[in-house]
Amino acid sequence: ITQVGSAAIHLTSCENCILENNIIIQNKPGSFRGIYLPDRGGAEDGRTENVTLRNNSIYVGPQATSFVFGLQLEGQADAGYVIVSNLMALMTDSAQTCCLEQTFRGNPQGPYAVMDYNLCTSLETNLRFNWARAYPSLESWSTTTGLDTHSIQGAPQVISLLADMVDLRPAN
């Protein structure tokens, strides 16, 4: 999925869904969400629960502005989300960036059954980078929530993160 609008994948309701092996590349001005699952308030016809996000790769280039979220996930505390083995390369310093945008009404663990083995990075020059909103680093997020204990905040070992030659295949 390349050069889309403000969200590459936007699910308004999804029960027992698996989103896996997507490659998302975005390098144009504006705000952006790689994968967005909004909270529909638990209505039976709009529930989002038991969602698995696995092996997705999200690249956002230097032209992105305003805000950039790799994953924006909302939901009820018992929603049972499984978020594993995702790569997020948010390579802009012109935007507030978060690997994870989460708003769970004061419960930092939110709707997650499992969240681990993810990798997220941004430019070292991006002073507005957060692992998750209000958590500037993976360490602060993991310590508070107990999630992402095997995840990595750092440069992925891929062929290229250069805006004009993005190649997210493994480097070795």
Structure token pair of residue 160: 């290229």
Residues 2-24 have pLDDT tens digits of 888 889 999 888 888 999 999 99
What residues contact 164, with CB distance under 8 A and at least 6 apart?
A: none
Structure token pair of residue 38: 């909004």
- The contacts found for 148-151 with CB under 8 angstroms, 24 or more apart, are 148/115, 148/116, 148/118, 149/116, 150/116, 150/117, 151/115, 151/116, 151/117, 151/118, 151/119, 151/120
Structure token pair of residue 97: 């960036």
Q: 165 pLDDT band (50/70/90 cuts)?
A: confident
Threshold 0.75, pTM exceeds: yes
Question: Beta strand pairing status for 66-73 and 95-102?
Answer: parallel
